[in-house]
Amino acid sequence: MVEVEERLGERLLGGGRVTTAREEILRRIRRATHDVPKDEHPGDVSVERGYRNRDDAPREEIVARFAERVAEYEATVHRVSEDKLPRAIAEACERRGIKQLVIPPGLPEGWVPDGIELLRDGASMRLSNEELDWSDGVLTGCALGISQTGTIVLTVGEAQGRRALTLLPDYHLCVVREEQVVGLVPEAFAQLEEALKGERRAITFISGPSATSDIELNRVEGVHGPRTLEVLIAG
């Protein structure tokens, strides 16, 4: 029989006293900051920010890197021309066997595939959590794509919908336009700060389909969001 020295949320210290994880974290913080003057504030200390804030690579390289990084997260990625985007959306839904598709406000009508029951979400008539959960998937646009990390950013803007729309359905089909892809994380934050200044919006960063691991490190998908992410990069 194996004796467990550490348990989740608790740790047995040498003196036999049991302390919670919170207490242990605070103890380490106090030890690390014991020499900081009590009247000092974070703003009093300058921080070197010499990192790159712009990617000078060619646009094609930035977009290609974005597609590669998104695919590394086990998302399905397709690059399509703008005129073939509606057909690519229809084909993605056909492959998936979509019968009901959640649509956010502001989604271009040209993207909407024929022959599918559309579940339109809006301010005046919101879909219930049950309707979102039972749907076959959701189709959205995005605010930004980050090439450096393969991350898609949603800001509850046009063609994106509220946060629940991309958390509850099991399948998320997302359209990212090439001009929405930035090279580096600092570029993305600069654009978000400028676009959302003074607004209170939820910002969601998506790096691949939802996946986590249980305590035995077994991969579990679809717990915190869609089990399947498919991305169409249009340009």
Least Cα distance to 149 among 189, 192, 207 occurs for 207
Q: Alpha-carbon dihedral of residues 93, 97, 101, 106, nearest 10 degrees?
A: 0
Q: What are φ and ψ of residue 228, in 5° steps?
A: -130, 130
**pLDDT at res. 17:** 60
Non-local CB neighbours of 62 within 8 Å, separated by 6+ positions: 55, 147, 181, 182, 183
**In CATH, what is the architecture of 59-234?**
3-Layer(aba) Sandwich (3.40)
In tens digits, the chain (235 residues) has pLDDT values of 334 344 444 444 445 566 688 888 999 999 998 888 888 888 888 888 788 888 999 999 999 999 999 999 999 999 999 999 999 999 999 999 999 999 999 999 999 999 999 999 988 889 999 999 999 999 999 999 999 999 999 999 999 999 999 999 999 999 999 999 999 999 999 999 988 988 888 999 999 887 777 777 777 776 677 999 999 999 9
Report the pLDDT value the prediction gives residue 52, as an integer from 0 to 100.
86
pLDDT of residue 163: 93
The pLDDT of residue 1 is 35
Check residue 2 and give its pLDDT: 38
Model pLDDT, residue 9: 45
- Provide the whole-model pTM: 0.79
- 3-class state of residue 10 by DSSP: strand
